A = this chain, B = another copy of it.
C-alpha cells in the first residue's frame, strides 16, 4: 500500500518533469542531448526527410507491406489474443513462447518510428487500440506479462535467467518512448513507468534480487531516465549491469556466459554466449556510460569492441557464429554456411555502435554501423518486405532461408524498427557543428547546438555512386564545422567546397576512417562535393579464419557482394574460382534486377570435373584444382540474395591464377 502511494507520487513528479521539459519533439532515436558523456547528439527522426535513393523503396515497403502483414501474423498467432484473454475477452489458451509480448512491443516501436516521420492516422489508431488492449492486462501493481499469469503467477521473478519478464517490459518502454516522441501521448509510457517503478521499489541490493536474463531492460531504463529525469531508473540499470546477484539467484557459470549478465559488466573481456544478449547488454552499458562517465565501463566497452572487430565480426557486420546457443564463437570462428548471424544480432551491433558513436564521436563506430546496416541487417528482410531471415549465413547450398513467420519472431519487427528509424542515424550534432554519418539523399532541418537554425540538403546515388553533394543552409552566415564521415574503405576520397559567388573550390583528400572536419564561416547556399572511392575491392581474411583460406570477398562502397547461382548459368558456383589474372571488374547497374542493383562481373575459372565427383581425401601430390574453363562470374550485393528461388550462394569465393580460354 505504502509502496503504491510512493509510486503514485513519483509518477506525478515524473509527469511534471516531462511536462516541464516539453521536449518530446526534439529527441532522437536515443536522447543524449543532456547526457554528460555523449560527444555527439542525435537529431530527431522528423528533422530528417529521406528522399529517393537506396533506402526509399525498402522504407516504403516497410510501411506499406511489412508492418501491416506482420501485425496480421502477430494477431493470427495469438500474440494479441494473449492480452485479450487476460481481460476475459478471449477464451483461448495462451499461445507462443514466453516472450511473445516483446514481439508486439517491438512492432509498436516500429510504428512509433514511422509516426515520428509524419502522422499516419491508421497506424496511430492501431497503436492506440493495442495500447488499450495491453494496458487492460496490466495489474494494479504495474506487473504486465501474458505468460507469467494464472498458474504461473507464483513463479514470477523466480526464474529470471529465462523469464524474459524484464526483456518484455523493456521493449514496451522503448515502444512507449518512441510513441511519446512521435505524438506526445504518454498513455503507454505511463504503463511502462508503473512497471519500472514496481521494479525499482521492490528489487535491488537490499531488496529482492534481479537479473535481466535477456539484457535489453538496461537500455530501456536509461532511456526512461532520459525521458523522465527519474534517476532511479538509471541507478537500477547500473544495478543490473553490476551483476552482483550471482549467489542470490544461484546462477551457474554457463548461465552467466550465455546470458551475458549475472556478473559485473565491467569484468567482461570478450564476447561470448548469446550474441543478441551480448549486443543489447553492451548497448545498455554504453547508455549507462554516457550518463555516468564511469571509466571502467568505457574501458570494458573499448576492449569488447576490439574483441568484436578483430576476431568475431563477419564482413557483413553480422555477429554470432554458432547455432548452438545462438552464440559467439571463439575468436576467428567465422564459418560461412553455418554462420548463425541472427538478424537481431546485426541490429544489436548497429544499436551498440550507434551508442558508441554518440559516446566517443569516432568514425570507426559509424563504419561498423554502416557495414551492418547495408549488409547483415539489410539481408534480413526480403525485397518484398514480407519474408525475413532469422539466420544470415555467408554461404548457402540452397536451403530456404526466408520465412514470413518464426515462432520466435524477434527479427521481423526488429528489422522494421530499424528501417523506420533510419532517418535518425544520418546526422548528428556536436558542440562544434554537424556530423554527416551516413549518405543518402535527404534534408536535415534542425539547428546547431548554439541554436542557429540549419538546413542541409544531401544529394547522392550512394551506394551505387560515390558522389555526394551537400548544400549547407544556415539560418544566417555562421562559423561552425561540418564533419563528413570518410568511410574506412574509401581511400582517395576528395572533398571540395564550392562557395556560390565569387565561386571558389578547395580540394582536399581527407583520411579514410575519420570524420573530415570543414571548419569555416558557412553561408546559406554553400555547397560541398564529395567523391568516395567506389572501385570494387577484393578483401581477404586473417588466416586464422579457417573457412576463408584461399578465398576473397568482394566489396564495393559499403556493400559486400556475393555470387548467387541464378547469375551463373551453366556451372555450379562451388566449382568456380575468381581468376586473379590482372583483369578488373566490369560494373553495370541493372534497374530491373532485384530492385535495381549494381552488378559486378569478373573473370573466373570453373573446374572441368565437379569437385563433388572427386573423393573426399586424396594424396597431397594429387591436386584437386586444375586449370579450369574461363567464365564470367557475376556478383550481386549480398543483401539481395535469396530473393529468387533458393539456390547456392557464397560471399567468400576461392581465387586461382590459372584458367584456360
Contacts and interface: CB of A to CB of B under 8 A. Distances in A.
Contacts of A617: 315, 539-542, 553
Nearest to A655: B620
For the complex formed by this chain, how many copies does it contain in all? 2
Nearest to A555: B617
A330 B539 CA distance: 27
Interface string A614-639: 11111111101100000000000000
A544 interface: yes
Contacts of A586: none
A350 interface: no
B615 A310 contact: yes
Interface string A508-525: 000000000000000000
A324 interface: yes
Given A309-B616, A324-B323, A549-B654, A574 B335 contact: no
Interface string A307-343: 0011101010000001110000111110111100000
Contacts of A574: 544
B546 A624 contact: no
Interface residues of A, number: 50
Nearest to A538: B620
Contacts of A323: 322-324
A545 interface: yes
Interface in A585-624: 611-612, 614-622, 624
Contacts of A541: 616-617
Given A310-B615, A311-B616, A616-B313, A624 B338 contact: no
B309 A618 contact: no
A342 B546 CA distance: 22
A620 B548 CA distance: 12
B616 A543 contact: no
A537 interface: yes
A333 B337 CA distance: 9
B538 A616 contact: no
Contacts of A552: 620
Contacts of A337: 330, 333, 546
Contacts of A549: 547, 549-551, 654
Contact of A542 (B315, B333, B335, B624): B624
B550 A620 contact: no
A374 to B, nearest CB: 15
Interface in A287-316: 309-311, 313, 315
A505 interface: no
A571 to B, nearest CB: 14
Nearest to A621: B538
Contacts of A621: 538
Contacts of A158: none
Contacts of A537: 619-620
Contacts of A547: 335, 546-547, 549
Given A543-B624, A546-B547, A338 B331 contact: no
Contacts of A540: 617-620, 622, 624
A408 interface: no
A397 interface: yes
Nearest to A326: B324
Contacts of A335: 335, 338, 546-547
Contact of A539 (B329, B338, B538, B619): B619
B542 A614 contact: yes
Contacts of A313: 616
Contact of A544 (B329, B336, B611, B620): B611
A543 B654 contact: yes
Interface string A27-39: 0000000000000
Interface in A527-579: 537-547, 549-553, 574
Nearest to A620: B538
Interface of A: 309-311, 313, 315, 322-324, 329-333, 335-338, 395, 397, 537-547, 549-553, 574, 611-612, 614-622, 624-625, 654
Given A542-B614, A542-B615, 7 more contacts: A313-B616, A322-B338, A331-B612, A395-B546, A539-B618, A540-B618, A542-B624
25 contacts: A323-B323, A332-B616, A333-B337, A335-B335, A335-B338, A335-B546, A338-B338, A538-B619, A539-B620, A540-B618, A540-B624, A541-B616, A541-B617, A542-B611, A542-B614, A542-B615, A542-B616, A542-B617, A542-B618, A542-B624, A543-B624, A543-B654, A544-B574, A547-B549, A549-B550
Give me the 9 closest cross-chain CB pairs, A-B, nearest first: A538-B620, A549-B550, A546-B547, A323-B324, A549-B549, A324-B324, A544-B611, A550-B550, A539-B617
